[in-house]
Amino acid sequence: MSYSALACDDGNLISGDGCSASCEVENYYRCENGSILSASSCFYTGVSLKTELSSTVRSEGLNQGVFRFRLYPALLVLEKVDF
């Protein structure tokens, strides 16, 4: 298979991040901008993510807190979430 025939290439052999280990675009993802010199960028386009607040921890006196969420369906790689 020549490079130009690849559907995507994100520079790794990990499936579940949008571009499979065999360089195929995975279900519910869109990959773009890949070339011989740069890796593809893959974006999740599937079903809406569902969130569930799993815990909160408030720091005493610092006006800070930690919120932990569960996301469904699970994604191997999640680089950015806008709330």
Exposure pattern of 7-44 as b/e (b: 16+ CB <10 Å)?
Answer: ebbbeeeeeebbbbeebebbeebebeebeeeeebebeb
The pTM score is 0.52
pLDDT in tens, the chain (83 residues): 344 557 898 888 888 888 999 999 998 889 988 877 888 988 888 777 788 899 999 888 878 888 898 877 766 666 665 65
